[in-house]
Amino acid sequence: MLKKGSKLYSILTGSCPRCHQESMYVNHNPYKISSLFEMHEKCANCGLKYKMEPSFFYGAMYVSYAVGVAFAVAVFVISFLFIGTSLKNTFFAIIGTLVVFMPVIIRLSRNIWINFFVKFDATKISNQSA
């Protein structure tokens, strides 16, 4: 399911969408807030330029909204429907979850956005790391 060559692999690992050989991010930990947005300029393996044009990742804000709504709906279903907490406590659970997972949502959104535009290319995989 999570094999190199799938969009899901690139989205969840934050790896280069073309070759899946290296991380797009300078720091793998999204909770290091000072380097949350720091990305390599291009892939060291296949040479894909991550910021294809100025303001490329502004589109990821739209994806971020959808991912945030998905997180909120998941928390609502778990806390209100399964656990049975009150609406007020469910609201606080949703807010807390969105705040805690904000860096993850930002990174996931960027990964999803770039994967809309770049396809996996098995010919770009280097022999030394394959």
Q: In a 3-state reduction of DSSP, which class is residue 59?
A: helix
Q: How far is CA 33 from the centre of its chain?
A: 15
Rounded to two decimals, what is the model's pTM? Answer: 0.86
pLDDT beyond 80 at 128: no
State the chain's maximal CA–CA distance in angstroms.
56
Per-residue pLDDT of 76-93, as tens digits, reads 999 999 999 999 999 999
The residue ranges of DSSP E strands in the chain, in sequence order, are none
